[in-house]
Structures are given as C-alpha cells and as structure tokens.
Amino acid sequence: MKNKIQTNFPFTGEVLNTYDLFTDDQIENALEKSAETFTSWRKVTLKEKVEMLARLSDILEENKKVCANLITLEMGKPFKQSIAEIDKCIWLIDFYAKNAEQFLSDELIETDAEESFISKDPLGIIFGIMPWNYPFWQALRFAIPTITAGNTIVLKHANNVLGSALMIEDIFRKAGYPEYCFQTIIATHDQVEDIIADDRIKGVSFTGSEKAGKKIAELAGKYLKKIVLELGGSNACIISEDADLDKYIDTIVKARLQNTGQSCIAAKRYIVEEKIYDKFLEYYNNGIQKLKFGDPLHHETDIATMAREDLAEEVEQQITESVNKGAKILIGGKRDKAYIEPTILTDVTPDMPVFNEEVFGPVASIIKAENLKHAIQLASNSKYGLGTMVFTEDQQKVRELISEIPDGALFVNEMVKSDPRLPFGGTKASGYGRELSKEGILEFVNKKTVYIK
C-alpha cells in the first residue's frame, strides 16, 4: 500500500492498524507549529514543567496495562516485560521531576567579574529518531529530559510501533503540555533528511543500528546539527573462575534473553575462564530451559517471537555463517517464521559474525578464556563499546582493571542496564553523547557563559 504503513502482531501476524505517511505539507506544519510553541514553552517556569511531569507520571500509572498491552501487540515483548518498561518510564519521569531544578540551575563560577556563571538555555526543536525494541522507554528516555530543559520535540518512531508513538503524544497532551510541544510524525527516509536539514531543527537524537547511525551522523555533520547517537552493542559478559553461579545465573541468562534478546545492551558474548567453562555451560543451559515460551500476551511468558520475521532471518543467517566457520550449536538454532529458538553457540572465535557483529536475537555465544587478562582482551576485541559485565567475587581485582575496559559502562555482578540516575551511552561504533542523569538533560542546552562586570 503506497503511502501507508501497516502494523502487525508478531506472534500471529494479525494486522493491528494502518497509518498514512505524512505529506510534505503536514511535516512543514509540524515544524512550524513546533517552532512557534518553542518561543513560549522555553519561558514556562521550571516549576510548571515539573508539575506537568507529575501529571505525566500519574497518567502513565493509570494507563499502565493499556500501554503495556500496546507494546506487546506491536513488537511482541512478553507482557510482564512491557509492564516493567512502563514502570521504568514512570521512574524516569519522577527522577527528573525531583532533580531538574538542580540540573538546570545556573552554575556560578568565581572570576574577576562581579558575577559570572553558566546559563543553561534550550536550543529549540530537537528531532528524535527512535527504535522499536523499547517503544515507550526509548522515546521517553530522550524526550523527558529534553523537553524539561525547554526544547520542543518532533519524534519519528519506528514504523512497527506507530500506535505507541501516537499514544505517547496523546499522554503528553493529557498531562497539560502545549499541543505542539511533543509531536509524532510518520515520515519516509527522504523526508527525514529534509527534516535534519531544516534550519529550525537544532539537534538530533538517534537510537538504532550502527549502519543507520552512520547515515544520520553524516547528515547531522553536513548540516552542523548537534547529535546524540545510541547505536548497537556486542556486550561481553566475563565469567571469572570465582563467579557465584548459584547466586547470579538467573541474572546472567536474563542479560541475554530479556526482550527475546532484542536489546543493544544485552550480553551477547559470554567470555568464560576455562576453569569454570564446563560448569557455566551446564548452569546456563539449565537456566534457558526454565524459560517459558508462548504468546507474549500471556502473563507467564518469558520469551516469544522476535518483532519481525525479517529480523529473525538475519539472526538465522548469522548463526549459519558462524557454524560454517566452526561454531557448534549446543542447543537451539532453528527458526520458525519470527521465532528463533534460544540458542547456545560454543567454539566461537573472533572471525565469526556472532562474535564481531551485533546479534539482535536470543543467541548466546560462549568463548573460552585462559584467564581474566585474556578474557578482558577478548571482551575489548570489538568495534562496539556499549558495556561490559564481569561476574566475580573479587571486586578489588575488577577495580584495578576498570581502565582496561574501553566501554561506556562496566557492571560487576549485574547485567548492563540503563538507570535514570546514571549516564548512558557508548564508545567506538556504539555512538557518542549521553542520555539520562544530569549529563542527559544537558545534551541539548546551550551552556552559555555569562560575565558581568
């Protein structure tokens, strides 16, 4: 259907809805209205903005099951994980409601002036391009701090979660935000380039694949736009020989298979010291067997189909190519439409796709390391730099090695996860810029030097 986009329930293929692409005139109107709204929104007091955040939080809480159900229908996430996603969004909103004033207040600097300080002024319209795997969290993770800082937002969400995108827009309006403060548009790739080029757009936030991120970065550079990139990852999970598997195996399994493995910060490469290698395989296999596959709308389901059949086909191809290079399938490996069996691959080496590419599905690659030093070398042997996990009882040993890990995050005895209180972002091919915490709210402000004598 030309000029239309159809959404489907991945588990059954059922058609959910059909949406019209925006015309160029509709996009022009959205930008014009956003620019007009910015002139007044930037002057709204922070106290009023915080009050709107509180209402936004309440509305999400009241509509939690409705929002979670929509997430599950559009991209197939197990319902209990969709509920957890909305809970995390509420946490995010409450965090900025509590801390925005502190983060955005003028920063006094002592100089020879009578008064000198850094003023944090909003930039204007910020264009967000967001992915489907966490439809509410990804959009709000970008939007909440950005809009609270005084910017207005135009969101281009992934085509398979347009219902979620429009529901987010509706929630902002119900919370009392000006009508054009947050807008969702449904645009083509060509229209996206035109939007980035538009002088009214003052910044771009993109979360998605490395390939798409390079294109967005190229466009942002061409038009000199501030940009934050949150791209792919191939996170290593290092299992030290002293790791307490009895205590942490459920976390270790969840680190790979949450959201059916469709997470940039998932543990994709398990690098295991050889003394514990066989024991780890046994524990990990047992952990997978406990997961319940089924209809994602059922509340007891742990793992379901992937979000689209073409995504499952890509993962299947990565498995096949890796097996052709010598990897062994311990369990899983089969695909049925959008479903990929939870898969464990052993004998994985750095020349294989499951080691050197991002695998966005329920596939765990297990690599044997001679010792911890070798494990860190293998972990760092990646073009990505989003995060590393280490499971060990010797925390001091890890503290001494922090500088050896070149990623944006290091988590010890816990899976890498985003937390509103901590900055989130990567290095190398995982992007640049930071979201969340104080750093996130300051990405799209003008840190203006003010000097009064």
264, 357, 358, 435: the catalytic one is 264
Beta strands in 191-255 (DSSP E): 201-207, 226-230, 235-239
Q: Both tokens of residue 420?
A: 């509103």
Q: Order of strands, edge to edge, in the sheet holding 267-273? A: 328-331, 343-346, 363-369, 267-273, 235-239, 388-391, 410-412
74, 169, 230, 357: the catalytic one is 230
Residues 8-14: contacts with CB within 8 Å, 24+ apart?
Answer: 8/160, 9/73, 9/74, 9/76, 10/75, 10/76, 10/304, 10/305, 10/306, 10/307, 10/308, 10/309, 10/338, 11/76, 11/295, 11/296, 11/297, 11/304, 11/305, 11/338, 13/337
Q: Where are the alpha helices (DSSP H) in 227-356?
A: 245-257, 277-289, 309-324, 353-356
> Residue 20: which of 137, 171, 159, 134 has the closest Cα?
159
Q: What is the DSSP letter of 132?
A: S
Q: What is the DSSP letter of 330?
A: E
Active site residue 230: yes
Alpha-carbon distance 7 to 72, whole Å? 12
Active site residue 32: no
What is the residue-wise DSSP string for 372-410?
HHHHHHHHH-SSEES-EEEE-S-HHHHHTTGGG--SS-E
Question: Quick check: 144 and 54 in contact, CB under 8 A?
Answer: no
Alpha-carbon distance 77 to 136, whole Å? 12
Question: Quick check: 293 and 304 in contact, CB under 8 A?
Answer: yes
Give the three-state DSSP class for 221.
Answer: helix
Alpha-carbon distance 352 to 284, whole Å? 21
Q: What would you report as the CA-atom Rg of the chain, rounded to the nearest whole angstrom?
A: 23
Measured in degrees and rounded to the nearest 5, phi and psi for residue 112 equal -85, 5
| Residues catalogued as catalytic | 230, 264
